[in-house]
Amino acid sequence: MFSTLSAAQIPLNRPEFSGNELIYAARALASGLQTGGEFSNRCGRWLSQECGAEHVHLVQSATAGLELAMLMSGVGQGDEVILPSYTFVSCANAVALRGATPVFAEIDPATLTLDPAAAAAAVTGRTRAIIVVHYAGVPCEMDTIRRLADRNGLLVIEDAAQALLSRYRGRPAGSLGDIGVFSFHHTKNVTCGEGGAVVVNTAGLSRRAEIFHQKGTDRSAFDRGTRQKYTWIDLGSSFAPSEITAAVLLAQLEKAHEITERRRAIWANYHAAFAELEARGRARRPVVPDYITHNGHLFYLLLENEDARDALILHMRKRGIVTPFHYVPLHDSPGGLRYARSATPLPITESVASRLVRLPLWPGIESRQDEVIGEVTAALR
Ligand SMILES: *Cc1c(COP(=O)(O)O)cnc(C)c1O
């Protein structure tokens, strides 16, 4: 028998729906659900304002968004795209789907984001783009990445799936590269179940994006009245989410700042609570450079070794508290071995992946956060 603690599970994440989600969804239904309607437009405007970008395309997921970004970047057979191995599978998959080769480079051991020096060393004559991943809502070292890209004529695609409302030197994540991709999956700060957005920051890319997004047609120009009919122009797919999804998303976006502030406070609470564990060398806390404002997406600890990490996960699970590890590196996965290559051995990636544990973080956990902190502290004593 487990103790009473296990009866009430503390999940890793829980969406915060307490705004206009149902009301807006009902209005979307009543309006007839035409794709690209009022709610989609309002979501697009919100994102465009918050990211300082002119062109925003809503998509059905960040996975779809990364595929759209790879279509836009025009990479194909024989081309290479540099990215971290410590990331979600969709980054590499989007590259491989175009017939190009994902090339994995090492992460920075402090921030766990793509190491600009490692990315620079991975550039070859075939490199066309870099995908940076703002892990845990902490933007990458973008000024250095931008200089590297400009020197070599590369596009920069930001996987900002975890980084809505994060900032780098005052500038919003998603606006820092040529293309930014967000996720509104149910595990993200702001969610409509499945959803995403592609932010286009480079003027030359946006017209093609519109065609790819509209199933390869010039439907957008037709809708604006600048074409008599619309027809097949280029490659494309059905990327747009339904109006119901956009309705739920708009209600969430309207609360995004509030949700972010709550998450940041919970994050700060963890950070302060584990200072002593860090001082004793039992766990390392996330490192956020002082010119970065993160969005409280994820709080992790790096333990001394894999055994200590697995023991902590087990300890917490017995008490009904979900504290999972995170990415399994892509470079030595079956798909990675088949479709990608590594620029160098990736010991930091492998070490981080084996020692990292995530703690529950969601609006509403405040009343039970001390319980989580107490159990982590007890397990690592
Ligand atoms: C969640 C996530 C994705 C995928 O998002 P979906 O919307 O589920 O497709 C991609 N990259 C990163 C870094 C993520 O965290």
> pLDDT tens, 4-31?
444 459 999 999 998 899 999 999 999 9
Measured from the CA of 61, which atom of ligand 1 is nearest? Answer: 7
d(CA 285, ligand 1 centre) in Å: 23
Where do the domains of the chain lie, and which CATH numbers do they carry? Answer: 20-253 (3.40.640.10), 256-380 (3.90.1150.10)
Measured from the CA of 187, which atom of ligand 1 is nearest? Answer: 1
Comparing C-alpha atoms, which of 198, 293, 197, 200 is closest to residue 252? 197
d(CA 185, ligand 1 centre) in Å: 7
Q: What is the pLDDT of residue 353?
A: 98
- The string of pLDDT tens digits covering residues 342-375 is 999 999 999 999 999 999 999 999 999 999 999 9
d(CA 305, ligand 1 centre) in Å: 27
Q: What is 234-300 written as a DSSP string?
A: S---B-PPPHHHHHHHHHHHHTHHHHHHHHHHHHHHHHHHTHHHHHTTSEE-----TTEE-----EE
- Amino acid identity for residue 352 in this structure: V
CA 171 vs. chain centroid, Å, equals 17
d(CA 66, ligand 1 centre) in Å: 9
Angle at 228 between CA 223 and CA 232, to 5 degrees: 75
318 flagged as catalytic = no
**What residues have CB less than 8 Å from 39, skipping those under 6 apart?**
24, 27, 28, 243, 246, 247, 249, 250
- The string of pLDDT tens digits covering residues 228-273 is 999 999 999 999 999 999 999 999 999 999 999 999 999 999 999 9
Measured from the CA of 196, which atom of ligand 1 is nearest? Answer: 7
Say whether pTM exceeds 0.75. Answer: yes
Q: Is the pLDDT of residue 275 over 70?
A: yes
Nearest CA to ligand 1 atom 2: 161
Q: Is the pLDDT of residue 54 over 90?
A: no
Cβ < 6 Å from ligand 1: which residues?
61-63, 87-88, 90, 133, 159, 161-162, 183, 185, 196
Dist. CA 315–CA 12, nearest whole Å: 15
Measured from the CA of 135, which atom of ligand 1 is nearest? Answer: 13
d(CA 18, ligand 1 centre) in Å: 24
Tokens at 351, concatenated? 């070490």
Q: What is the pLDDT of residue 3?
A: 45
Residue in 89, 185, 245 to alter for ligand 1 test, most ligand atoms within 8 A of Cβ: 185
Measured from the CA of 64, which atom of ligand 1 is nearest? Answer: 9
* 83: β partners: 104
Residue in 91, 162, 186, 198 to alter for ligand 1 test, most ligand atoms within 8 A of Cβ: 162
Dist. CA 197–CA 15, nearest whole Å: 18
DSSP 8-state secondary structure symbol assigned to residue 130? E
Angle at 195 between CA 250 and CA 246, to 5 degrees: 30
d(CA 159, ligand 1 centre) in Å: 8
Q: Is the pLDDT of residue 206 over 90?
A: no
Name the catalytic one among 188, 215, 229, 318.
188
Percent of the chain with pLDDT over 70: 98
**Number of helices followed by number of strands (H, E) in the chain:** 16, 14
